[in-house]
Amino acid sequence: MKALFVYNPESGSGKIEKHKEYILKKLSTKYEVEIKKTTHAGEAGELAQSSVGVYDYLFVAGGDGTLNEVVNGLKEAVNKPIVGYIPCGTVNDVAHSLGLPRDIKKAVKILVDGQPFSHDIFKVNDRYGIYVCCTGLFTSSSYDTARKSKKKFGKIAYFAHGVRDVFSAKPVNVKITEGGNTWSLPASLLLIINSRSTAGFMLNRHAVLNDGYVELLAFYSHENKIKMSDILRCARAFLGGLSWTKHNKKVVYLKAKEFTLEIDKGAIINLDGEKSGEGSFNFRVIPRGIDILLSPKMRKKLENNAKKY
């Protein structure tokens, strides 16, 4: 079986480079492996696109942003390779959601012995994502926080940037249209999620990741200025989880597969932790759009989630 291994040398303070020989040795016991090191933004996506129909497996090492590039490279192509993921970013929400370890040896073991899990992806205008799309409070932290700060301070750098964001944030006017229904509101935060983990918090522990739906949360704000009560409501969501949040009267909650959103011009869209345009957008779920290798135990757990919820 042919496999392409793509890695971002910047992620994880260069730990993939340090363990490259070990990784290749282990992968070579099962696969015919070619390795590529990314040298510029977007290259992981370019390599992913060129892998379609050529490789059986595409292994990627990096953060959530690198994985997002891969999703955008594969898009909705047929005959896509099965993806294996070694997480080595700062937050690694997708890895937390899927039970993928940051330990190199454990992660490589899953690439060799794991089983594919079919995971939904989604399309936002002309871009693709796998776990989150959002705008409003705190959502600029993942792409505005300086790379040096992220390397040195990790999650603390995101938090510090988010605190500064609170004092200058304004509500985003949101109009949601889905299935003939419309909701309009000033929102402190808009979250569209298909993940168990978001921003490092286990926001939706029982998420079903392959049912063809995402969950949308729009948090009401005071009209002209985000106040402390609005901030606390958002914070309570991350601490209390989705089961509490979706029943709050100040939160619009939807489970949907296709909808449109009209938001303020200039409101930045965060897609899988990356800055991805601004303004209004159309949203569509692509059911089971990517196959990702997981441990047999985690794959079974996620499949059981689908049966229970």
Mean pLDDT of the chain: 88
90-104, 111-125, 145-159, 289-303: least confidently modelled range? 145-159
**Contact of 197 with 93, CB cutoff 8 Å:** yes
Per DSSP bridges, beta strands 57-62 and 82-87 are parallel
Flag whether pLDDT at 123 surpasses 70. yes
**CA end-to-end distance (rounded Å), the chain:** 36
User: Which CATH number applies to 2-113?
Assistant: 3.40.50.10330
Percent share of the chain, pLDDT over 70:
90
**Contact of 129 with 265, CB cutoff 8 Å:** no
Flag whether pLDDT at 265 surpasses 60. yes
Report H helices in 79-206: 93-98, 104-113, 141-144, 147-153, 155-166
DSSP tag of 174 = E
SS3 124: strand
How many Å apart are CA 69 and CA 181, to the nearest integer? Answer: 33
pLDDT (tens digit, 9 = 90+) per residue, 35-50?
A: 999 999 999 999 999 9
What is the value of pTM for the model shown? 0.89
Confidence (pLDDT) at 10: 80
Confidence (pLDDT) at 309: 63
Active site residues: 274
CA angle 253, 92, 71 (to 5 degrees): 75
CA 21 vs. chain centroid, Å, equals 29
SS3 225: coil
Report, as an integer, the average pLDDT of 264-281.
Answer: 85
**Nearest C-alpha neighbor of 300 from the set 63, 148, 163, 98:** 98
User: Which CATH number applies to 127-287?
Assistant: 2.60.200.40
How many Å apart are CA 266 and CA 254, to the nearest integer? Answer: 24
How many Å apart are CA 55 and CA 101, to the nearest integer? Answer: 24
SS3 118: strand
How many Å apart are CA 86 and CA 105, to the nearest integer? Answer: 10
Confidence (pLDDT) at 157: 43
User: Half-sphere exposure of 127 toward its Cβ, with a 13 Å CA cutoff?
Assistant: 20
Flag whether pLDDT at 162 surpasses 50. no
Give the residue extent of every domain in the chain.
2-113, 127-287
Confidence (pLDDT) at 158: 42
DSSP tag of 164 = H
**2-113 and 127-287, same CATH topology:** no
Q: Which amino acid is at 249?
A: K
